[in-house]
Structure 1
Amino acid sequence: MISALNRLVDLVEEHLTEELDVDALARTLGTTQYHLRRMFSSLAGMPLSEYVRRRRMTVAAAELVRGDDDLLSIAVRHGYGSTEAFGRAFRAVHGVGPSEVRRDGGPLRSQSQLRFRLTVEGSIPMDTRIVDRPEFRLVGHATRVPLIHHGVNPHIQQHIAALPAQEHVRLKALCGTEPAGILQVIADLDPEATEGSELTYLHGVAVEAETPTPADLDAVAAPAGRWAVFHVAGSYPQALQSAWAATATDWFPSNPWRLRPGPSMVAVLDRAADFSTATCELWLPVEPA
């Protein structure tokens, strides 16, 4: 995976002024666009699209300072149809407009070319099992919320708090397959996992594929396939979020699996009364790499 990401970075540089065909590149590297974008975002700390934009604006800034071409030529070369659109993108990266940079030479915020390396630091082994499951469904109460990488998501908290206590009892009674109990389900996640992007959060349970869904509940399909199940214990939600990040930095680069499209799930096995600590299972849909 590390070599695939570095090849992706090289191709961004080779085709910086062109539209990058990530899907075609992923196929040549023996992986999928979905997995490549998810791993890039997790390891780089920014979506691939944001990295490309920053690199384009870094190169464009150097061209502006040199003064070899007019502003429109530079804008068109970097994929913008007008100086206005180019100016907005340029200002979003550098904090100043192209004309100020041409006149004053800065200030500029450069994006260096990335290089991915796998560093072995003797971290604690991840407690993982691979589960092969037929198709099942996730039923419960769904809502759209923004993605928040660190800390408690208040939008999810609000959604859960609005459910009456008896609804949790009803959902538990509906549960008919593994993973057992009330689940925290994430679906429709942007492959680049951009913070602030919208996703579907479902508070519910797993049922067999043929189980009818009550009319007042939402449903998310869980396609047949394999799942990597990570056992996590510690402070909540910090330990869970750290484990989620470690799947990208440690587990996927070291194991012959890649993410496949589908929902991810968290099953809470045990927790403190105030939810300050918890023992959880993180379920991620995977396929052989």
Structure 2
Amino acid sequence: MDWLERMNRALDYIESHLDDEIDYTVMAGEAYCSEYHFSRMFSSISGISLSEYIRRRRLTLAAFEIQKTDIRIIDVAIKYGYESSDSFARAFHKIHGIKPSEARNKGVQLKAFPRISFQISIKGDVEMEYRIENLDFELRIIGKSKMVKTSRAFKTIPTLWNCAKKDGFMQKLIDMSWENPKCKLEGLLGVCGKEAAITDEEFDYFMGVRYDGEITDDMETLIIPQSTWAVFPNVVEAWKRLYSEWIPTSGYELANLPCIECYYGPKHKPRHELWVPVVPK
């Protein structure tokens, strides 16, 4: 079963559970992927967050039911996962621009969001540089975490680092940084989803460095077990192409560990890299 077929199996699961509870572990399992990576992969490829896609599909089906049947609005709301008619009405209005009860009026205009079907085209006209790093030891990372909205990650994360530079936290990390690194992962580290679990709307972004010494009470410790990593230069470009271009053709699966953004010193080339945990297929 290839990558594209697995992703569409996950979509089949979503579609068959729109009027039921969706088990995100099962859904990601259909794609042979962890929950951590599935939501980011989905958003990267489709251009819409996973939760927003599910919300739009449910409200599309809800509108069809209200139009075609005499079912009570509250029953439709409960069927599609809303705890009250008020919360359903707000969500319905946000998508369709009218109240649920108004959907029964003749000639009213509604919005239908069709089911997504993944079809991917690999152009191959621009190469992707990468290397494989096998780390046979655990990574002990010291730092702090911040909650980041997934949809604004590319804007928020640089701002977090700029703030860390201004308030002295970045210099504190530099002062703690590994003096004799065991591998090339020795810069300032941004760990995307410190618990190896990422929600669709937001995730913990852990800012830190590898460090084996004593820490102060205002710092957290993050341990990442030994793993194999695919390493890409240029963090922003790598994020844009990872899920749609490299993973489908690489012969690797994504491991159930967080990705790491590594930012090096001024004279290092490249200036930053994306470390992605992988396992061979």
Could you tell me the TM-score, scaled by structure 2's length?
Answer: 0.82
- Aligned identity (percent) is 28
Q: Which residue of 2 aligns with 1:158?
A: 163
How far off its partner does 1:56 sit? 0.8
- The answer as to 2:129 corresponding to 1:127 is yes
How far off its partner does 1:97 sit? 1.8
How far off its partner does 1:181 sit? 2.8
Kindly report which structure 2 residues correspond to 1:114-193, keeping only aligned pairs within 5 A, or say none.
114-133=116-135, 134-139=137-142, 141-147=143-149, 148-151=152-155, 153=157, 154-163=159-168, 167=172, 169-172=174-177, 174=179, 176-178=181-183, 179-188=185-194, 191-193=198-200
After superposition, give the CA deviation of every residue in 1:176-211 in whole Å (9 maximum; x if it has no partner).
3321233333333763553xx242331x3224xxx3
Going from structure 1 to structure 2, the CA distance change for 1:48 and 1:182 (only over 3 Å counts) comes to closer
Structure 2 CA distance for aligned equivalents of residues 91 and 175 of structure 1 = 58
Going from structure 1 to structure 2, the CA distance change for 1:288 and 1:106 (only over 3 Å counts) comes to farther
Letter in 2 for 1:149: A
SS at 2:279 equivalent = strand
Going from structure 1 to structure 2, the CA distance change for 1:66 and 1:3 (only over 3 Å counts) comes to same
Could you tell me the TM-score, scaled by structure 1's length?
Answer: 0.80
Decide whether the 8 Å contact of 1:144 with 1:199 is kept in 2: yes
How far off its partner does 1:247 sit? 0.5
Give the number of aligned pairs. 271
Query: What value does the CA root-mean-square deviation take over the aligned residues?
Result: 2.9
Q: Which residue of 2 aligns with 1:235?
A: none
Going from structure 1 to structure 2, the CA distance change for 1:7 and 1:61 (only over 3 Å counts) comes to same
Kindly report which structure 2 residues correspond to 1:56-67, keeping only aligned pairs within 5 A, or say none.
56-67=58-69
SS at 1:149 equivalent = helix
Decide whether the 8 Å contact of 1:183 with 1:268 is kept in 2: yes
Question: What 5-or-longer segments of structure 2 have no aligned partner?
Answer: none
Decide whether the 8 Å contact of 2:131 with 2:230 is kept in 1: yes
How far off its partner does 1:270 sit? 5.9
Decide whether the 8 Å contact of 2:228 with 2:278 is kept in 1: yes
Q: Which residue of 1 aligns with 2:210?
A: 206
Structure 2 CA distance for aligned equivalents of residues 191 and 50 of structure 1 = 15
SS at 1:92 equivalent = helix
Letter in 2 for 1:39: M
Question: What 5-or-longer segments of structure 1 have no aligned partner?
Answer: 233-239
Going from structure 1 to structure 2, the CA distance change for 1:111 and 1:68 (only over 3 Å counts) comes to same
Structure 2 CA distance for aligned equivalents of residues 112 and 182 of structure 1 = 43
